[in-house]
Structure 1
Amino acid sequence: MNLFADIRALVISALDALAAEGALPDGLDTANVAVEPPRDPAHGDMATNAAMVLAKPAKAKPRDIAEALAPKLEADARIAAAEVAGPGFLNIRLASPVWQEVVARVLREGTAFGRSEMGQGQRVNVEYVSANPTGPLHVGHTRGAVFGDALASLLEYSGHEVTREYYINDGGAQVDVLARSVYNRYLEAHDLDVDWPEGTYPGDYLIAVGEALKDKVGDAYLDQPEDVWLADVRDFATDAMMDLIRADLALLGVEMDVFSSEKALYGTGKIEAAIAALDEKGLIYRGTLEPPKGKLPEDWEPREQTLFRSTDYGDDVDRPIKKSDGGWTYFAPDIAYHYDKTQRGFDQLIDVFGADHGGYVKRMKAAVAALTDGRVPLDIKLTQLVKLMQDGEQLKMSKRAGTFVTLADVVDLVGRDVTRFVMLTRKNDAPLDFDVSKALEQSKDNPVYYVQYAHARVQSVLRKAREQGIDVSEAALAGADLSGLTHPAEQALAAKLAEWPRLVEIAARTHEPHRVAFYLYELASGLHGLWNLGNTESALRFLQDDPAHSAAKIALPCAVSLVIAAGLGILGVAPAMEMR
């Protein structure tokens, strides 16, 4: 049930009727006609821009169209009033039975209320985290993991078929550095002193890996040149790091469907096939790029390279795909990896990266657009930095990692649910200050607590009602006489429930799961506000002297708790049954 879509359909039907009567021209394009919540709730329950967007093509004054449209809408039993405002906006007030039916509908559908078929089963690949396999995940990876996982759940909720994917960057020089770092720990496991050159990974998390390598190979690699042990240690270390990363993700409740390896692209012909696909389109050529902006001539030497004509698809410059020594640039396997995803039949690709990948966006979008002739869209979401605070000071490093705060540290400090919710309290491309102290505070200023408290409050009411012998099953409450839910505060809360299906579709379409967190806070605020009014107005209390009356009053908060549970489910947060 999407009430906004239903009322928009009514508006379109009324416009068709006006056209049939000759009051409007036939064939008007109504694609931009919208029905939305008004900016000021005092103006009504909904507003439509129909008269404003149709005035020019209809060659009529907006207000004249609105005044003709209003009585058509008011003829419908759902519409209490349609009022023309300003130059031609139309504010709509809905009849009380509409809100009562919303509550009953939520109770009948449970946490499925708001689920959408908008995605129509489209196959979407969401790639997220994809951290270099060189150590534990840090607080920045945590944000990307939560965002990507919530986005995947949101897309599933809105009717998409989603694959969660992690791309293992195991083909670059950083895994050689990892192997050398693990070899140092292996030497230490044999009680040997070692040097730690700048750029290696001296974190304590590699101690156990070095000891495990010793257990596996004994002293076979002692006093051996690098070419003897590097390849084997690299594989051993990468596997160990991926086990560590999987364990970190499990702490957040993140489970990937697919792990893809960069290294697996080399020597298999996959990179060559992807580049050949671009070459067939005339997009690969030999050329010389202009010097980078801001570089002095003596700092740069022109050289002919193999280039991808990415400027044909919106990039700023064409991009090298081969280095001067004939090896592939880092961009080439990335092209091949995305080509592989398109070959697997996905209708849409989404990549979630850290803020430092901003320069990557245009070139990768260009490559995917070129490979698929624009058929498969690629959306790249960048997550900005997270600053972890406690007691007014920034937390800067972990004892385990040595240089940064780990994902495990954050979850240990505040728990999985708080971590996930807080990471979604800002839009992904806005910096986030994660205040550990505030995240554990029991106040309205802590959105996690405020939303959880709303759900727990309702559960408390339901427990007390059961003790009084009231049937509070969702089916029973849906069948209760809800005609008494007429107070403005009750109807405002029901109206907020009605926004949920629309919010889901907007958030899924824009790939913005933070909208769910914002909505839940507003819904919780409405529940708490109604609860507080009951302290002074006995008629608004959820538990009344008459059991039948209680059932009607309990129906609304029960519906709220169901939507909160559904929204928290998308965010990967368990709803609280009680507050401790």
Structure 2
Amino acid sequence: MLTLYARFAADLAAALDALEAEGSLPAGLKRDAITVEPPRDTTHGDLSTNAAMVLAKPAATNPRALAALLAPKLEALAQVESVEIAGPGFINLRLTEATWRSELATILAEAAAYGRSTTGQGTRVNVEYVSANPTGPMHMGHCRGAVVGDALAGLLEYAGYAVTREYYINDAGAQVQTLGRSVHLRYREALGEQIGAIPEGYYPGDYLIPIGQALAAEYGDAYVGKPESDWLDLFRTRAVAAMMEMIRADLALLGIVHEVFASEAAVQAEGRVEAAFDRLRADGLIYQGTLEPPKGELPDDWEPTEMTLFRSTAFGDDQDRPVRKSDGGLTYFGTDLAYHFQKTESADQLIDIWGADHAGTVKRIQAAVKALTGGDKKFDVKLVQMVKLLRNGEPVKMSKRSGSFVTLADVVHEVGKDVVRFTMLTRKADAQMDFDFAKVVEASKDNPVFYVQYAHARIFSLHRRAAEAGMVLPEADLGLLDAEELALVKLAAQFPRMIEGSAATREPHRIAFYLYDLAAAFHALWNRGNDDPGRRFLLADNPPLSAARLALADAIGQIIRNGLGVIGVEAAEELH
């Protein structure tokens, strides 16, 4: 079903077609830049279009003159109450109250489907997020990217895309070799050996103790005193498997489930790297060469070394990038390039959610995807800033290697999944944010999580309170709602447009921002009853008006549920 804004865009297009047919407007003018949206200042009306300003120059006319031709055709629409030409040629429309009552009825009728879109047209999108090294449980350093990625996946699905959620397991690098050695240490400890202090560079966390104990129970002392070559592959593989089981469980606490877990080791073992290199080599994009010397004063030991390079400068990168080292070993980028090529086989678009500390690698991966797909696959990287953990305003320190970090599980158990998820979307992903354990559970307007949930809980309470009062309500007559109440419908009607816009820009935080604004408007309407009892939602002596106001509240509650569902948050029915 078309959104209200899309319907008026179609009406506008028909009016322009009519002007063309009359000869008042040249045929074939590009209309891509024309918009139909709410004006920034609501006193200017309900809808605004820039059509006259966009088309005036190519039509060789004045914007206000063109607007004057267009305005009568728009004013003739049954849903339009008045049309005003503003400024250099904006056209502002004020819609009839009947139009907004009709939209309210639509929200109630479509219920959970209201806001769903088909704009994605089934486009296959691979969203890769989290992809933390499998060397320990999830900690709060991973949390924001996990939530942003999962909320974005949910948003895209709601907007009609076919989404695959993917996790890339970095199980082929030096860090998992160290993990295997760390587990071997715990294995020996489980067999009674006094291992003393954990060696520098090993993973010291207690979370490795159960893995060592399990291996000791299974293999006894078979790998004690044996050369590393006898046991490292086994211990690394078992450690990674155990870590991934732990990571899956941690993510599940946040309601996050990936459909695909791709392995770096498998990408290498299955020949994916060479296949990607062959593809690039055929286009003259892989060659043997040396990197340019580092800028500034050269280190004493620097010397030019021949390596296998990818010609990424041909696709906008700052310099060509090595895919194999001078000894023939793969660089991380070499495997990462092949991994992204693998993803393009089953997706039309790729989105990666990365920590902001990886910003320097964006251009090279974008260059690789463009080179490998001929530019046919859209690839986007969303950078996510770190979260500063606070407790009553004091920083909480984290250190993964020391083993004294704050785990994601600890945080979810303390404040709840929904609080964590919503809070992570209360800032743009690329903006710094603080997470204060005290503030995120605070019952105040300053806490967006509480404020939105409180609005839904208030709405949910209305039916209970009506039943307790023995009120028998007739079918809602939406004609009883006044202009102030219909203003809330106007904000609610922006939800479908917000879904489509947020999906197009890949910004799930915009849904959280919108829900806060909607909740604030609802609370303002609710609070008017504190000063004037006749403005309350439920009036024992006026069942018809109560029914109409309850229908309005139900519609707002439905929008809040739909919006929270998009970002993976459950709507609270009551707050304690």
Quickly name the TM-score band, shorter chain normalised.
Answer: over 0.9
**Cα 1:471/1:17, change in 2 over 3 Å:** farther
Provide TM-score, normalisation by structure 2: 0.96
User: Could you list the per-position Cα deviations for residues 74-122 of structure 1 after superposition, in whole angstroms to 9, with x for gaps in the alignment?
Assistant: 1111111111111111111111011111111011011210000000011
Offset of residue 267 of structure 1: 3.0
Q: Structure 1 residue aligned with 2:315, among 313, 316, 319?
A: 313
Q: Structure 2 residue aligned with 1:219, among 218, 221, 243?
A: 221
User: Could you list the per-position Cα deviations for residues 187-241 of structure 1 after superposition, in whole angstroms to 9, with x for gaps in the alignment?
Assistant: 2222322242222110111122221221121111112221121111101111111
Give the aligned partner of residue 391 of structure 1.
392
Partner Cα separation in structure 2 for residue 372 and residue 7 of structure 1: 38
The answer as to whether partners of 1:79 and 1:95 remain within 8 angstroms in 2 is yes
Partner Cα separation in structure 2 for residue 109 and residue 440 of structure 1: 33
Give the aligned partner of residue 250 of structure 2.
248
Letter in 1 for 2:517: E
RMSD between aligned residues: 1.7
Partner Cα separation in structure 1 for residue 455 and residue 209 of structure 2: 45
Offset of residue 401 of structure 1: 6.8
Partner Cα separation in structure 1 for residue 70 and residue 535 of structure 2: 37
Report the count of equivalent residues. Answer: 573
User: Could you list the per-position Cα deviations for residues 458-488 of structure 1 after superposition, in whole angstroms to 9, with x for gaps in the alignment?
Assistant: 000022234456678xxx96xx32112232x
User: Could you list the per-position Cα deviations for residues 153-211 of structure 1 after superposition, in whole angstroms to 9, with x for gaps in the alignment?
Assistant: 00100001111111100010100100111111112222322242222110111122221
Letter in 1 for 2:324: K
Are 2:571 and 1:575 equivalent residues in the alignment?
yes
Map 1:400-419 → 2, pairs under 5 A:
402-419=403-420
Map 1:486-525 → 2, pairs under 5 A:
486-487=482-483, 489-525=484-520
Identify the range of structure 1 (261-270 vs 177-186) with the bigger mean alpha-carbon deviation. Answer: 261-270
Q: Structure 1 residue aligned with 2:521, among 513, 526, 529?
A: 526
The answer as to whether partners of 1:204 and 1:400 remain within 8 angstroms in 2 is no
Give the aligned partner of residue 278 of structure 1.
280
Map 1:290-329 → 2, pairs under 5 A:
290-296=292-298, 298-329=300-331
**Cα 1:482/1:274, change in 2 over 3 Å:** same
User: Could you list the per-position Cα deviations for residues 44-78 of structure 1 after superposition, in whole angstroms to 9, with x for gaps in the alignment?
Assistant: 11211111111211111111112222221111111
The answer as to whether partners of 2:203 and 2:401 remain within 8 angstroms in 1 is no
Are 2:343 and 1:341 equivalent residues in the alignment?
yes
Partner Cα separation in structure 1 for residue 14 and residue 348 of structure 2: 33
Offset of residue 295 of structure 1: 4.5
Partner Cα separation in structure 1 for residue 392 and residue 213 of structure 2: 38
Are 2:175 and 1:174 equivalent residues in the alignment?
yes
Partner Cα separation in structure 1 for residue 333 and residue 400 of structure 2: 35
Partner Cα separation in structure 2 for residue 149 and residue 325 of structure 1: 39
Give the aligned partner of residue 560 of structure 1.
556
Identical-residue share of aligned pairs (%):
59
Partner Cα separation in structure 2 for residue 338 and residue 154 of structure 1: 23
Give the aligned partner of residue 212 of structure 2.
210
Partner Cα separation in structure 1 for residue 471 and residue 505 of structure 2: 43
Partner Cα separation in structure 1 for residue 143 and residue 472 of structure 2: 42
**Cα 1:159/1:455, change in 2 over 3 Å:** same
Q: Structure 2 residue aligned with 1:549, among 528, 545, 549?
A: 545
The answer as to whether partners of 1:398 and 1:409 remain within 8 angstroms in 2 is no
User: Could you list the per-position Cα deviations for residues 407-454 of structure 1 after superposition, in whole angstroms to 9, with x for gaps in the alignment?
Assistant: 112212211110000001111111111111110100000000000000
SS in 2 for 1:298: coil
**Cα 1:55/1:537, change in 2 over 3 Å:** farther
Provide TM-score, normalisation by structure 1: 0.96
Partner Cα separation in structure 1 for residue 138 and residue 79 of structure 2: 53
Partner Cα separation in structure 1 for residue 482 and residue 35 of structure 2: 27
The answer as to whether partners of 1:205 and 1:401 remain within 8 angstroms in 2 is no
The answer as to whether partners of 2:211 and 2:242 remain within 8 angstroms in 1 is yes
Partner Cα separation in structure 2 for residue 568 and residue 211 of structure 1: 43
Offset of residue 538 of structure 1: 4.3
Are 2:466 and 1:484 equivalent residues in the alignment?
no
**Cα 1:122/1:74, change in 2 over 3 Å:** same
Partner Cα separation in structure 2 for residue 466 and residue 149 of structure 1: 39
Letter in 1 for 2:512: A
The answer as to whether partners of 2:204 and 2:401 remain within 8 angstroms in 1 is no
- Show structure 1 runs of 5+ residues with no match: none
SS in 2 for 1:58: coil
Letter in 2 for 1:565: R
Partner Cα separation in structure 2 for residue 471 and residue 212 of structure 1: 64
Partner Cα separation in structure 2 for residue 32 and residue 299 of structure 1: 56
Partner Cα separation in structure 1 for residue 163 and residue 521 of structure 2: 33
Partner Cα separation in structure 1 for residue 208 and residue 48 of structure 2: 60
Partner Cα separation in structure 2 for residue 18 and residue 390 of structure 1: 63
**Cα 1:59/1:469, change in 2 over 3 Å:** farther
The answer as to whether partners of 1:205 and 1:400 remain within 8 angstroms in 2 is no
